[in-house]
Amino acid sequence: MEGPLIVLAGAGTGKTKVLTTKLSKIITDRLASPYEILTVTFTNKAANEMKIRIESILKLSTAGWWIGTFHSMGARILRKNPEIVGLKKQFTIIDTDDQLRLLKQVLSYHNIDEKRWPARNLNFVIQRWKDKGFNPTNIDTIGSDFGNNKGAKLYETYQTRLKTLNAVDYGDLLLQNLNIFKKEPELLAFYQNKFKYILVDEYQDTNLCQYDWLKKISTNENKMCVVGDDDQSIYSWRGAEAANLLKFEKDYPKVKVIKLEKNYRSKGNILKAANFLISKNNSRMGKKLWTDEDDGNKIEIKNTSNSEEEAIFISDTIEELKRSGQELNSCAILVRASYQTRSFEDRFIKIGLPYKIIGGTKFYERLEIRDAMAFFRLTVSDFDDLAFERIVNVPRKGLGEKSIRSIELYARENKISLIQAASILVNKKFFTPKTNTSLSNFLKLILKWRSQISMNASDLAEIILDESGYTTMWQNDKSIEAEGRLENLKELVSAISEFENIRSFLEHIQLVMDNETNNTNNSVNILTLHAAKGLEYTNIFLPGWEEEVFPNKRALEERQNEGLEEERRLAYVGITRARERLWITHANSRVIHGQWYYSIPSRFIEELPKENIIINGFNFNSEENNTYIEYNNDYTNQSKPVQFQEKKIRIGQRVFHQKFGYGNIISIEGENIEVNFNKTNIKKVKIEYLMTDV
């Protein structure tokens, strides 16, 4: 029970039980009172679950105990000592909406164009600084280029304004703790002495500020116990530092490491594949999951011609499971990016298979999709007032609330549609010159789109989204959500390409949405890999295992090897969600933004152990040393090579061939390329048959 301790707990090994048992043991053995133990988690749900378990074990109320999230514990300390950092008693913790309103005021004060530098982007920048434990005085050139190098000044003004309002945001709850500890060493010593034991859940997900906070409070080495899994560190995008767990051994030289490797969730083949895959990462402490369970079914790898066939295969497999007596809610589809849900939603709606999106919104209910659909609806109808109201000022056109109300009043008095009322008022020059011009240009665009209604549906959709400025609006938005929204818009354009015109697409959507079932009690689960962490299902489907989809292209470009290792950890998380059955799928081609793109299998498929997988019905023997691609019959049926854009090639470059797999270029002679393939040694092939940038 004494000394610094790391509990390296793999997926499904019962780490929560370890924490609750340890805490209960400390209290039962009277090593510390409940008020001398600090237990921190990442979510309110996890904290509440821990309290329930402890109360069940000890038959005691946990009221007043130091059990909660990092933010709740930070708030508790700050409430006791607000004056040290210039706050008064009863300070306010503001939410995101209040943050954005305040930041808009800050931008206005510094004469910064909010259209070019949105408040939500500034909020993201500031919160990432706070995640790192940076005060405004710590910001110099480090990421301070926001608003033409005014990031640090904007941060300073924001913090000053917060103090004037006697308020803090969530990022301040720990940051101000650090400031308190720095200003009042005696107070820091008080908390160091107070907490005889510190227990931390999901330590691999801590950011630098949380890490520093814990390190300061736990100077006494005999009290820190952290539970985590370096192989499940997948949240770098929100400030998590996987290295924090790896640094623990250096911070506490006397640390004892206990590895929980017995898995109580998954069958043997699933665990063996997960172990083999994650072993390719270098930045890890190392462990190997095992189980008393039998090996069960091998992991099935399925190649399809395109993403639509992928959705059909998965839906057919789920229906087979249902016919065999399994519940729909035993099945989960885990995608790398939210835009991937569209093809599955369309398929499930079409065949009447109940589904639900976990941790997100259904594709056709997402803000950007509803906005886009409103533009399309207004293009085909002169009487869709709801669509007009939704997008008349999106992107912002300078129309105030008063102008919009005037349009509504005129329409009501004259019993005409809003767009008709707007046209009449514009012709009468009812509005200010600026508003009149802005609204006039919008109405002209609608008339133009209507004149093009018979053109190819996806082409017109792209024109509408571009000319309305809607695509540009999200391109200029630097928030973390913007990339996903743009991907969803591209996916929408892809969906429209299947229809003759915009009108037929809208009719189809209306019909399928009207027929959509509301039964969520027994539904197929669809969620992202990030949202799946901590969950488990009997049957797991992992679609889209293709290069640039998974591993994600942006992750590789921005963070190189670090990005690759986190993507591999994400794959590990996906695999270990499965209890009994696991399917991994990939498509030869996908429609992206109305264009067909050929795909190659994810490198993660090649990294799976052949003895634990079945590929398109082919059962590998462990002695065989064959590449995956050689057994992919769908590739051999292609009569034409994939047509690629101009290739920039060089000696040593990694490439992919549909028959021979991965390799590196060793010589170039015009169109003839000599490649040392990983499994089939040196081959001379034509450049047109090679995929680069892999």
**CB-CB neighbours of 286 under 10 Å:** 11
Annotation says 16 is catalytic: yes
Annotation says 362 is catalytic: no
53, 265, 302, 577: which one is catalytic? 577
Tell me how far apart the alpha carbons of residues 546 and 26 are, in angstroms, rounded to a whole number: 49
15, 132, 336, 590: which one is catalytic? 15
Structure tokens at 547: 């290069």
Annotation says 232 is catalytic: yes
Annotation says 669 is catalytic: no
202, 462, 487, 566: which one is catalytic? 202
Orientation of helix 208-217 relative to helix 185-194, angle to 10°: 80
Tell me how far apart the alpha carbons of residues 656 and 229 are, in angstroms, rounded to a whole number: 33
CA triple 654-656-657, angle to 5 deg: 140
String of DSSP letters for 155-198:
HHHHHHHHHHTTEE-TTHHHHHHHHHHHH-HHHHHHHHHH-SEE
Q: Which residues contact 137 (CB under 8 A, 6 or more apart)?
A: none
Annotation says 251 is catalytic: no
CA distance to 310, 314, 656, per residue, from 545 (Å): 11, 14, 15
The answer to whether 557 and 387 are in contact (CB under 8 A) is no
232, 291, 379, 576: which one is catalytic? 232
Tell me how far apart the alpha carbons of residues 278 and 285 are, in angstroms, rounded to a whole number: 11
CA distance to 79, 195, 485, per residue, from 62 (Å): 20, 16, 42
Q: H-helix or E-strand containing 499? A: none
- The letter for the amino acid at 411 is A
16, 20, 210, 658: which one is catalytic? 16
The answer to whether 496 and 458 are in contact (CB under 8 A) is yes
Give the chain's end-to-end CA distance (angstroms, integer): 49
169, 172, 201, 567: which one is catalytic? 201
Strands 672-677 and 681-686: antiparallel
- The letter for the amino acid at 366 is R
Structure tokens at 615: 């590929």
User: Cα–chain-centroid distance for residue 414?
Assistant: 48
645 CB-contact burial (10 Å; exposed 0-12 / middle 13-18 / buried 19+): exposed
Q: Which residues contact 386 (CB under 8 A, 6 or more apart)?
A: 374
CA distance to 52, 133, 156, 554, 567, per residue, from 394 (Å): 47, 36, 31, 28, 35
Tell me how far apart the alpha carbons of residues 214 and 551 are, in angstroms, rounded to a whole number: 33
Residues assigned a catalytic role: 15-16, 201-202, 232, 577
